[in-house]
Chain A
């Protein structure tokens, strides 16, 4: 290769630039995969909530901790990769991880009986203040403050060290990082949660928690009408809304059976009609 050739010289520079772009993309994809795996595990964990075992509180606080941990680790790493760049350039690299996270996060909120956060609330959680020396602190979120009364002691423990870092931060330079959440990604992730709520409804039926069935059904109806109110043409969103309709109909059937036959009978009555479909269906696999 001729090093004096101006074209060759220029292309050597271009090669470097392209490589660094691709490398960054790959690194973000790796984080995204880890986020997806952990989010799926959290959702699985949340499904083990059983009214008979009375374990809801422990599992939810466990899940909250793990969700928060994701914000502090992988999402922070992505935010670091995006520092100073156009966040939309790499948004596709972590879109699947983000959607899965939104699903786990909102499912947790639903089981906790709270109002669902919007993407703006979540965006705040993904905004970080990082000291130049590497001390990390997540920006205080208003929403978290409001929930303190309900939350268990663990959350308060988490907050205590935050105050300490704040003192440290005053001495060092602080830079702000964030991991962009596109509203569309959020809404797509939120649509996925309906499948989990439907599953939850049927599981509750099995364990005889009738109240949970009705709660799930109301939740799905509210979500579904929200999605129907949207005026967009987006292929994924369209498919997800259709799948959502199926989930809504299934939960409505469950509630109907419970009402008409009583909890015990509905459990038997639904085994054939829902048992199979329930396990066949997994997010990401609908045609």
Chain B
């Protein structure tokens, strides 16, 4: 016959879990606050090109704060229970990967690797090593970057920079071909990937607009990347 102890034990199991979840929520809220600050700092890129380096600098300070939050989280989560609680920080991690990849792209013009991104947040890349950055979260963050860059490309034109959109176009189309190599399941990542083609299209339209008006300074070459970063101080 059912022993009532089962239900007592189950209730105390639930209570314990609830408590852990509440602690997680507190930490995640803090991380979210720092991530929001970084977001605000990085919004400046759409209106003031010259402030990009300082925005990146400020954003990186916020990432350092976030790393502290992740450190607390990793202490709180028992080993091999990452996926038990991960829905609490999944969204903010994706957001942060987006912000980091944006910062790195603005600073250096390439896609941040999963390893580097994880390092910035103080996370591992492999599940076996502990609290880690899930591959799907990383990819989701990268997809968010593509949308932001399509907006950035447009605003660059508005601000008179006709060079950098070409770079962005190349970069996003590389991302697009990268994502085509993946076999995605029919999940949220897949849905977000379906939106990537619109980002590609938007950027291509920007390139089209500036090229028919003869505003493209030089044909796309390998140097463009370096050139833009050299031009920055003189602007």
A contacts, CB < 8 Å to B: 1-2, 5-8, 10-12, 14-15, 17-19, 21-22, 84-89, 91, 110, 115-116, 118-120, 183, 187, 190, 218-219, 222-223, 226-227, 229-232
Asked, given contacts A7-B174, A8-B177, A219-B2, whether A118 binds B9 with beta carbons under 8 Å apart, the answer is: yes
SS class, residues of chain B in contact with chain A: helix
Asked, given contacts A8-B181, A85-B127, whether A218 binds B1 with beta carbons under 8 Å apart, the answer is: yes
B212 at interface by CB-CB < 8 Å: no
Please report the number of residue pairs spanning A and B whose Cβ atoms sit closer than 8 angstroms: 107
B117 CB, nearest partner CB in chain A, Å = 11
Question: In the complex, what distance in Å separates the CA atom of A110 from the CA atom of B3?
Answer: 12
B2 CB, nearest partner CB in chain A, Å = 5
B75 at interface by CB-CB < 8 Å: no
Q: 9 nearest interchain CB pairs?
A: A11-B178, A88-B83, A89-B83, A88-B84, A226-B7, A7-B174, A118-B6, A86-B80, A7-B178
Question: In the complex, what distance in Å separates the CA atom of A86 from the CA atom of B79?
Answer: 8
Give chain A residues whose Cβ lies under 8 Å from the Cβ of B5: 118
Give chain A residues whose Cβ lies under 8 Å from the Cβ of B7: 226-227, 229-230
Give chain B residues whose Cβ lies under 8 Å from the Cβ of A222: 1-2, 4
> Which residue of B8, B14, B80, B179 is within 8 Å of A11 (Cβ)?
B179
Contact A231 B11 (CB under 8 A): yes
B184 at interface by CB-CB < 8 Å: yes
B113 at interface by CB-CB < 8 Å: yes
Contact A84 B128 (CB under 8 A): yes
Question: In the complex, what distance in Å separates the CA atom of A229 from the CA atom of B82?
Answer: 30
Contact B181 A11 (CB under 8 A): yes
Q: Count residues of B near A (Cβ-Cβ below 8 Å).
A: 38
> Which residue of A8, A12, A14 is within 8 Å of B135 (Cβ)?
A14
Question: In the complex, what distance in Å separates the CA atom of A227 from the CA atom of B10?
Answer: 10
Of all chain A residues, which has the CB nearest B6?
A: A118
Asked, given contacts A6-B110, A14-B114, A86-B81, whether A226 binds B4 with beta carbons under 8 Å apart, the answer is: yes
B139 at interface by CB-CB < 8 Å: yes
Give chain A residues whose Cβ lies under 8 Å from the Cβ of B213: none
**18 pairs of residues in contact across A and B, judged by CB atoms under 8 Å:** A5-B174, A7-B111, A7-B178, A8-B174, A14-B135, A14-B138, A18-B182, A85-B127, A86-B80, A88-B84, A89-B82, A116-B3, A116-B6, A187-B10, A219-B1, A226-B4, A229-B11, A231-B14
